[in-house]
Amino acid sequence: MPSVVTRFAPSPTGDLHIGGARTALFNWLFARRHGGKFILRIEDTDRERSTKEFVQAILDGMNWLGLAWDEGPYYQTERMDLYRKAAETLLAEGKAYRCVCTPEELERRREEMKARKEKPRYDGRCRSLPPEAAEGKPYVVRFRTPHSGQTVVRDLLRGDVTFENSELDDLVLLRTDGTPTYNFVVVVDDASMGITHVLRGDDHLNNTPKQLLIYEALGYPLPRIGHFPLIHGMEGGKMSKRDAETSVMKYKEMGYLPEAIVNYLARLGWGHGDQEIFSVGELQSLFSLEHVNLSPSRFDINKLLHLNAHYIKEADPERLAGLLIPFLKERGIDASPSAWLTRAVMTLRERARTLAEMADAAIYYFREKEADPKAAAKFLTPDIAAVLEEIAQAFSALPEFTPASMEAALSAVVEKRGGTLKIHQPIRVALTGGTASPGLFEVMDVLGREEVIRRLSSAVKRIRSN
RNA sequence: GUCCCCAUCGUCUAGUCCGGCCAAGGACACCGCCCUUUCACGGCGGCGACGGGGGUUCAAAUCCCCCUGGGGACGCCA
């Protein structure tokens, strides 16, 4: 029996969210750190909004990030008997009761309470209804929350947080259709799955006392519970699309590496001295709850971009080449893995922050790009045509086309013309269509002699036809 | 409105638990310089924070209180 069992319990009502991913990551890291078990549970009791597609999307996201679960995925819709049985027990013991108030009525009363500036909650009017009163009517099962006393959440991160029971209300356990609600299933599931550490977002802190009361009513042993802060957008408040993309898989599509996302997420709300770069292995052995921050952190795309650039530089070029192929395809370029592609990638990886940027920069390796008008006007001037022509000839006369021989040939041409000629940028523009690229000799090496000569000649032709 | 949580550079954070080593360290972004055939990478430097007020103490970013600010929760959503 592992001493630590954690879980990630997303509801399949959307893609794996960046905040959810961090919750999963922290749970996973905590389990790994303590040699425990990490369980994946799909909270799909909301049949209206849950879909198979979203389940798959969440699984894809977890897999992409490398967050391997040891057990599951469990689906709550397959465990209904368990919840119903637990509800019956509570009902039989008088710890829960049937309520016949309609949603419309409840909504109306809530509005009234808000208008009176009160905390909106159920007024408990069905509490003392005799069980027969619900016969033949649609009803929900509510938990009988004690009116007095306090419930203390012994939070792993924040210490004791005390709630007055009178502040809590009689939450719905079972809906009219008999399906259980979140606060109820989560207790039954966490208890029956032997979860030892419930680690989740701050937004659940207010739910915890209610859940604790249910644990108690059901006679379940209490897990250890900790709440970490939410991730906010750059403007504060919950992360929204206005701030940055929130779906994890969108980051894959934008050309981020999973190790960059993991590193970034781990450092968002957690720290280990001055260290910024963490491998997954390091994270697994260093992660600790004591160093998780208590205040919400803002999602800063610039830092993610920086980390991604770092991991692109570090990544195995062959792997990078493979990852780049779909991005090339999006740009209409069919490429397949090859030593040549890997070489091209090696010239590009120092200056790309994402695979998308790399693909954009790689285009001229595959086809001649139309020269940027400004660059052409500045560097492909009439007087340069003859020089480019001469260089092309010099290149074709070379016994071997290597960076060293190209450089020598180039110097010779420049020397012959007085030694002050600035020829690098014109060549760069002729070859790549722009003024920024990897080292000129690297570019020519990847392009190959034939193509270099072809593009030089084409540039000469264009200059002269103007 | 009620309840709950939080508070160090613009952002992520170290330091806070066990007050002195902090005239507050690192990273991102930004600016400048160097390297350089361009763009990057890299190197060096700069800008930049303990929200405010009271305590406690020889000493407070660190402990206590109040204020302010930010966030979250108040569903037959999770």
What pLDDT digit, counting tens, does each position of A427-437 carry?
A: 999 999 999 99
Mean pLDDT of A160-186: 94
| Contacting residues 124-163/A vs strand B (CB within 7 A) | 138, 140, 158-159, 161-163
In this complex, the nucleotide whose C1' atom is nearest to the CA atom of residue A107 is B75
Comparing every residue's Cα with the C1' atom of nucleotide B12, the nearest one is A268
In degrees, rounded to 5, the angle at the alpha carbon of residue A292 between the alpha carbons of residues A275 and A287 is 60
Q: How confident is the model at residue A1 (pLDDT cuts 50, 70, 90)?
A: low
Sort strands A159-164 and A150-155 into parallel, antiparallel or unpaired. Answer: antiparallel
On strand B, nucleotides with any atom < 7 Å from a protein CB are: 1-8, 10-15, 17, 25-29, 37-42, 70-78
User: Angle, to 10 degrees, between the axis of helix A355-366 and the axis of helix A339-348?
Assistant: 120
**Token pair for A172:** 């719905």
Residues 426-455 of A, Cβ under 7 A from nucleic strand B: 428, 435-441
Q: How many whole angstroms separate alpha carbon A300 and alpha carbon A306?
A: 10
Q: Among the options A241, A303, A378, A416, which is catalytic?
A: A241
What pLDDT is attached to residue A46? Answer: 87
pLDDT band at A233 (very low <50, low <70, confident <90, very high): confident
Give Cβ neighbours of residue A80 (< 8 Å, ≥ 6 apart). Answer: A179, A180
Spanning CA of A122 to C1' of B2, the rounded length in angstroms is: 14
Segment A67-82 mean pLDDT: 95
- Record the pTM: 0.94
User: According to the model, what pLDDT value does residue A131 have?
Assistant: 77
- For A379, the token pair is 């560097």
- What's the CA dihedral at A422, A424, A425, A429 to 10 degrees? 140
- Given a cut of 80, whether residue A48 has pLDDT beyond it is yes
Q: For residue A27, is pLDDT > 80?
A: yes
Q: What is the pLDDT of residue A162?
A: 94
What is this model's ipTM?
A: 0.95
Report the pLDDT value the prediction gives residue A193, as an integer from 0 to 100.
97
Å separating the CA of residue A42 from the C1' of nucleotide B32 = 53
Mean pLDDT over each residue of chain A, to the nearest integer? 93
Q: Which of residues 65-94 of A touch strand B (CB under 7 A)?
A: none
Q: How far is the CA of A243 from the C1' of B27 (A)?
A: 21
Give the pLDDT of residue A42.
97
Torsion angle in degrees (nearest 10) through CA of A275, A277, A280, A282: -30
Provide mean pLDDT across the span A435-458: 96
Q: For residue A192, which of A377, A320, A41, A383 has the smallest C-alpha distance?
A: A41
Q: What's the distance, CA A264 to chain centroid?
A: 10
Contact between A78 and A47 (Cβ < 8 Å): no
Q: Which residue has the higher pLDDT, A419 or A323?
A: A323
Q: With bands split at pLDDT 50, 70 and 90, how would you rate the model's confidence at A2?
A: low
Lowest-confidence region among A85-89, A117-121, A193-197, A240-244: A240-244
- Asked if the model's pLDDT at residue A105 lies above 70, the reply is yes
Mark whether A252 is an active-site residue.
Answer: no
Share of chain A above pLDDT 70, in %: 100
User: What's the CA–C1' distance between A449 and B58, in Å?
Assistant: 79
Helices (H), A351-384: 355-366, 373-379
Q: What pLDDT, on the 0 to 100 scale, is given for residue A4?
A: 96
pLDDT digits (tens, 9 = 90+) for A336-390: 999 999 999 999 999 999 999 999 999 999 999 998 999 999 999 998 999 999 9
Nucleic chain B contacts, protein chain A, residues 290-309, CB cut-off 7 A = 290-291, 293-298, 300, 302-303, 305-306, 309
Residue the block writes with tokens 């086309």? A401
pLDDT of residue A342: 97
Q: Tell me which DSSP letter residue A287 carries.
A: -
> For residues A425 and A428, what is the distance between their CA atoms, to the nearest angstrom?
5
Residue A347 approaches strand B within 7 Å at CB: no
pLDDT, tens only, A245-289: 889 999 999 999 999 999 999 999 999 999 999 999 999 999 999
CA–C1' A117–B45 (A): 57
A386 touches strand B (CB under 7 A): no
What's the pLDDT score for residue A113? 84
